[in-house]
């Protein structure tokens, strides 16, 4: 496994994590997938492109290269369930629609999956942890924005249509409540989009594990409905006409995130 992540260091105390943006497959996973899974439908499509303005803001960025069908970087290494009800684990066995991901008898072996944990999951989390530590050492605090997207209607996982912007702070445990309220207020300004705080998506492992306000590390997850920037079904085309207005909101959120930190931790 030659390249498992893409990392770019920034100049402000903000790290944007994109754990589900990867498209690469291992030979074993690729050979075992059912036909309906080969287009990688559960990918957080085009997230690096959507957040391409982040470098202008000075943020560090970290994006996965391998698909979540190989290993899910937003799950704990012990695969402890993150949500009550239907969900997917560290090594997904079903699609979001609830059907088996692999052909019968062709899922990766335990030994194969152990290599994914060592060579894909661990490097991503080491990089994430090291960058947060660097930011905290340099600035006295660190900000983590975990960027995700998902199809807006998935009956197996949730009822009805998701709000467009799903903010998660693990019910207030991963960041300062005032920061969360500020993020909510920004979303509320844009009446063309719906939003919720700590709804169906409260933040996965990355938000929960790394967000630690007591240690001056504040983490926020955004699960964005894909209908706000792309076509939700194959071929999953990026739609600049949809994406550009959405990027206006995203940029304001990230700018406010950085400004909040600067004000909060001003010397």
Q: Would you state the pLDDT for residue 25? A: 98
Fold of 5-264: Aminopeptidase (3.40.630)
Identify the three-state secondary structure at position 257: helix
Stated pTM of the model: 0.95
**How do beta strands 142-150 and 217-225 pair?**
parallel
Tokens coding 199 = 């709804």
The residue among 38, 97, 42 whose CA lies nearest residue 74 is 42
Q: Would you state the pLDDT for residue 37? A: 97
Sign of the dihedral through C-alpha 12, 15, 16, 21: positive
Q: Would you state the pLDDT for residue 262? A: 96
Q: Would you state the pLDDT for residue 83? A: 59
Task: Output the tens digit of pLDDT for each of the chain's 267 residues.
Answer: 679 999 999 999 999 999 999 999 999 999 999 999 999 999 999 999 999 999 999 999 999 999 999 999 999 999 776 655 556 789 999 999 999 999 999 999 999 999 999 999 999 999 999 999 999 999 999 999 999 999 999 998 899 999 999 999 999 999 999 999 999 999 999 999 999 999 999 999 999 999 999 999 999 999 999 999 999 999 999 999 999 999 999 999 999 999 999 999 986
Tokens coding 262 = 């600067």
Q: Would you state the pLDDT for residue 251? A: 98
Q: Report the 10 Å Cβ neighbour count for 232.
A: 18
């Amino acid at each position: 496994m030659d390249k498992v992540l893409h990392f770019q260091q920034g100049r402000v105390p903000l790290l944007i994590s994109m754990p589900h943006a990867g498209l690469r497959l291992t030979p074993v996973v690729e050979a075992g997938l059912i036909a309906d899974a080969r287009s990688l439908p559960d990918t957080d499509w085009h997230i690096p492109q959507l957040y391409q303005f982040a470098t202008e803001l000075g943020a560090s960025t970290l994006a996965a290269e391998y698909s979540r069908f190989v290993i899910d970087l937003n799950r704990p290494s012990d695969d402890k369930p993150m949500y009550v009800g239907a969900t997917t684990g560290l090594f997904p066995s079903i699609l979001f629609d609830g059907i088996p991901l692999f052909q019968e008898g062709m899922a990766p072996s335990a030994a194969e999956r152990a290599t994914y944990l060592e060579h894909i999951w661990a490097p991503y989390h080491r990089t994430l942890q090291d960058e947060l530590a660097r930011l905290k050492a340099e600035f006295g605090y660190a900000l983590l924005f975990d960027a995700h997207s998902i199809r807006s209607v998935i009956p197996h996982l949730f009822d009805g249509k998701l709000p467009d912007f799903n903010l998660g702070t693990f019910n207030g445990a991963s960041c300062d409540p005032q920061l969360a309220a500020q993020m909510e207020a920004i979303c509320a300004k844009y009446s063309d989009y719906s939003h919720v705080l700590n709804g169906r998506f409260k933040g996965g492992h990355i938000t929960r594990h790394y967000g630690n306000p007591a240690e001056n590390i504040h983490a926020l997850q955004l699960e964005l409905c894909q209908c706000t920037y792309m076509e939700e079904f194959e071929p999953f085309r990026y739609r600049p006409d949809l994406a550009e207005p959405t990027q206006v909101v995203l940029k304001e959120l990230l700018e406010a995130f950085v400004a909040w930190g600067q004000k909060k931790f001003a010397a």
